[in-house]
Structure 1
Amino acid sequence: MKKLIVALLATTAAVSAVQAQEFTPRAYVGAGAVATDYESRVPGASRADVDTIKASGKIFGGYEFTPNWAVEVGHTDFRSADVYYTLGNVNASGQADGRASYVAAKFSSPLTEKVVGYAKLGASHNVNELNAINSQLNQRESKNTAYGALGLQYNINQDVSVIAEYERYGKSRDFGVQPDALTIGAKYSF
């Protein structure tokens, strides 16, 4: 078993060394469609409903230092969702809205010649708002939290790739965008 582990480590080191010799550091930019879910717990309301899964947009960019390591920044502007609730005997409505920006270290590892798996870990700044119409229940939450993602990248050619990833923007919230997001997008390296 020890010989197998040593052989795997030696092979990984050799492949990484070959990749590093052929690699030129470069930047990349991308855009994607993000699917998220909204939550609304209106204080004192006997019922609260919110439009569920919404699609929104994301832009991101980064710099690949090695074939395995990069740093990435991104911004997602989550679409607003309508909120309906009952407070006392009065039916009311409003809107939940959110956005998030992040910076993260990214580790990538080739799975096949065209497919790359990756993980990102960093910090995000999240803003969630609940704007209730004709009510004093307006809320705004702005905080810095942990950010993480797992994804797959399919390389169409040397410069163009498509991505699919699961992202987590911090902890669960009482209102607004929930922290889990699924992203499908495209990336261009230059």
Structure 2
Amino acid sequence: MPWQHGATPPTSPIDKETIAMSVSFLNIGRLGTLLCLCLPFTVSAEAGDDTYADHLYLGAKAGWSHYHNGCESGASDCDKDDLGWGAQLGYQFSPNWAAELEYLDFGQAEATYPFTYPHGTYTGSQRGWALSARASLPVTEQVELFGKLGALYWQGKVEGPTPTRKDEGWAPVAEVGLGYRFSQRWQLNLATQYGDGVGSDELGGSNLWLTTIGVQYRFGADRTRAVQPTPTPPPGPVVLPALHRELHFGFDSSELTDLSPLSDIIERLLRYPDAQVFIQGFADSTGRSQYNLSLSHRRAQAVADYLQSQGVEPDRIRIEDFGERLPVIDNATAEHRAQNRRVHLYIPGMEVDQ
């Protein structure tokens, strides 16, 4: 309904009111359907955000205002466009949902009626308070789509040759837009807002459009969008290298004199229950071969007995005796023969879990 420049009442107020309400609910129903279609996506995005904190935000916006059907047919001059602006206070209570209170000034529409009485120029303006629910859908880490749906408590005024007329009431309001967060707390918004059937029989009315660019500042919004950390794969197995150690013995002796080479052997055997040790006994070439074979066995057994005394199970120990076979060096000198009087311990390499 355009702004009424006269005070003539409508011919059929019930029909006009019924039609206006039907159109209003139809338009807002379409916008409501669009927001509902976004609901599953916002809930899905919200579910993965564990770093979110509730916060307040403030915003301001300004842009182009348009009064659709803002003039009657008899107007010789009609200006339905003006500068509009708004200011917001909101509370973000979940990653994708907020409640918002907004003050809106839609500017004014102006029309001149030279042929109808009382003729002259009339100016109509609208401003008011909107309370809305705001839903957002992340597109990237910094970009979001958002929509708002709520109620506008409007306060309108018509000024002209006749006495100024004022009225107030309620109308549905909706908004869709695109937000770009250029820092942790600041966001730039581009949006279009629609107020349906704003006005009354006293003032006339219009469908209001407000296309704006604005900024928002978010208090305590130190969080990132719902970005899930990449799960750390479980640690893989580790390959332990083979372990070799040697003990040396006095002439014709199986007595253990230096136990320090056994520390690494014992540590691995106690730490890894699947590890096995091979104990190989040797002798030099002095004396009979059969005696040297027996001596090499006694040397290997002495080492095995010590390992068992330290907690190593007998079934994990393998004894081999070689006598004077497989010398590490010839037996030509006393020093060489001392090197061949030995026990060699060997734990094979193995794969273990970390």
Q: TM-score scaled by structure 2?
A: 0.45
Identical-residue share of aligned pairs (%): 24
Larger fraction in helix:
2
Q: 1:41-68 deviations in whole A, cap 9, x for unaligned?
A: 3xxx833533231112210110101111
Larger fraction in strand:
1
Q: Note if 1:32 corresponds to 2:61.
A: yes
Q: Which residue of the partner structure matches residue 135 of structure 2?
A: 107
Q: Which residue of the partner structure matches residue 188 of structure 2?
A: 162
Gaps of 5+ in 2: 1-39, 220-354
Q: Which residue of the partner structure matches residue 340 of structure 2?
A: none
Q: Which residue of the partner structure matches residue 123 of structure 2?
A: 95
Whether the 8 Å contact between 1:36 and 1:177 is mirrored in structure 2 is no
The equivalent position to 2:52 in structure 1, one of 6, 19, 23, is 23
> Following the alignment from structure 1 to structure 2, what is the Cα–Cα distance between the partners of residues 141 and 127?
6
The equivalent position to 2:96 in structure 1, one of 45, 63, 68, is 68
Gaps of 5+ in 1: 1-8
Whether the 8 Å contact between 1:34 and 1:182 is mirrored in structure 2 is yes
Q: What secondary structure does 2:46 align onto?
A: helix
Whether the 8 Å contact between 1:114 and 1:156 is mirrored in structure 2 is yes
- Specify whether residues 22 and 107 from structure 1 end up closer, same or farther in structure 2 by C-alpha distance, changes over 3 A only: same
Q: 1:117-160 deviations in whole A, cap 9, x for unaligned?
A: 11111111112221112x25x44342111121111100001100
Q: Note if 1:83 corresponds to 2:111.
A: yes
Identify the structure with bigger relative contact order (alpha carbons < 8 Å, sequence gap 6+): 1
RMSD across aligned C-alpha pairs, in angstroms? 2.4
Q: Which residue of the partner structure matches residue 155 of structure 2?
A: 127
After the TM superposition, which of the residue ranges 62-71 and 167-176 deviates more from structure 2? Answer: 167-176
| Over 6 Å off, 4+ runs | none
> Following the alignment from structure 1 to structure 2, what is the Cα–Cα distance between the partners of residues 79 and 180?
11
Displacement of 1:90 after TM fit? 6.9
How many pairs are equivalent?
Answer: 173
Whether the 8 Å contact between 2:106 and 2:208 is mirrored in structure 1 is no
> Following the alignment from structure 1 to structure 2, what is the Cα–Cα distance between the partners of residues 56 and 172?
15
Q: TM-score scaled by structure 1?
A: 0.80
> Following the alignment from structure 1 to structure 2, what is the Cα–Cα distance between the partners of residues 147 and 170?
6
Q: Which residue of the partner structure matches residue 181 of structure 1?
A: 210
